[in-house]
Amino acid sequence: MFKKFSPSTDIAGQTPPKSSVQRSIRAAVLQQWKIGPETLEEIWPKKDTLIHVKCREHISIYTIQSVPLFFQHFDGPFYPTLRLLYQYPFLLPKVGVDRGAIRFLLAGAPMMCPGLTSTGGYLPPPEEALPKGTVVAVHAEGKEHAVGVGITELGTEEMRRVNKDVAVEIVAHLGDDLWALQTL
């Protein structure tokens, strides 16, 4: 999503949203991510106002004190920024990819099933199967830190069965233009 993003041309406006909207965002974030309310309080204190940065193609980035924290496309699920994910790795469920796939992901390619089902990849076991449309952290074989944030196009059980085509659409990865933005 942030393959080509330059703050000078792609930002339409920055406004603080209404507090009712802020409360609904807070509730949605608590529900979607594996986070407890006290930890969210650390990242986003009640007193601080969120700033809503509108970008092209209906992408909204939310920042606290000029640091981007999470973003969404249209009214879709909230994705944490990679930097936030590094600080709190438990936010999202993990899937793992093969070492050979890393360089393609870093160039922005979507994640294909074989990368997840091969020996180097990791998919959560059937008891914790993830449905289609879950926001996940994409980890790489042998690495501590996530390569990127994505959303599953197929359920994990389907991925194991079908083993073809796109498994996870990568929304943000290490080294994209969102990564380059430390403050907004």
Partner 1 sequence: MSSSDQQEPQPVRPLQVIYCQICTFPPEYCEFGSSLTRCKEWLQGANSQLFDKYYSDEALQSKIGTLSLEAQAKLEKDTAKKEAKAEAKADAALKKKMASQVSIKRIERNKRKHVTAIHGLEAFDVDLKKASKFLAQKFATGASVTKNAQGLDEIVVQGDVSGDVLELIEGGAGPLKGVPADNVVIIEEKKKKTQE
Q: Write each residue from 164 to 183 as x if it is in contact with partner 1 (CB under 8 A), else as -, in one continuous string.
A: ----------xx---xx---
Span near partner 1 by CB under 8 A; candidates 47-55, 98-106, 126-134, 161-169: 98-106
Q: Nearer Cβ to partner 1, position 11 or 129?
A: 11
* Sequential DSSP letters for 128-140: GPPPTT-EEEEEE
Contact 39, 88 (CB under 8 A): yes
Q: Nearer Cβ to partner 1, position 29 or 174?
A: 174
Q: Which of 7, 10, 32, 88 binds partner 1 (CB under 8 A)?
A: 88
Span near partner 1 by CB under 8 A; candidates 11-19, 70-78, 96-104, 163-171: 96-104
Task: Work out whether the CA dihedral 127, 86, 97, 120 comes out positive or negative.
Answer: negative
- Smallest separation, CB 121 to partner 1 (Å): 9
- Give me the phi and psi of 118, to 5 degrees please: -75, 180
Return the residues of window 106-165 that contact partner 1 according to CB under 8 A.
106, 118-120, 141-145, 147
Return the residues of window 22-51 that contact partner 1 according to CB under 8 A.
36, 38-39, 41-43
Look at the chain and count its residues. 184
- Smallest separation, CB 115 to partner 1 (Å): 11
Asked if 98 touches partner 1 (CB under 8 A), the answer is yes
Decide: helix, strand or coil at residue 77: coil
* Sequential DSSP letters for 65-121: TTEEEEEEETT---EE-HHHHHHSGGGS-EEEE-GGGHHHHHTTPPEEHHHHHSTT-
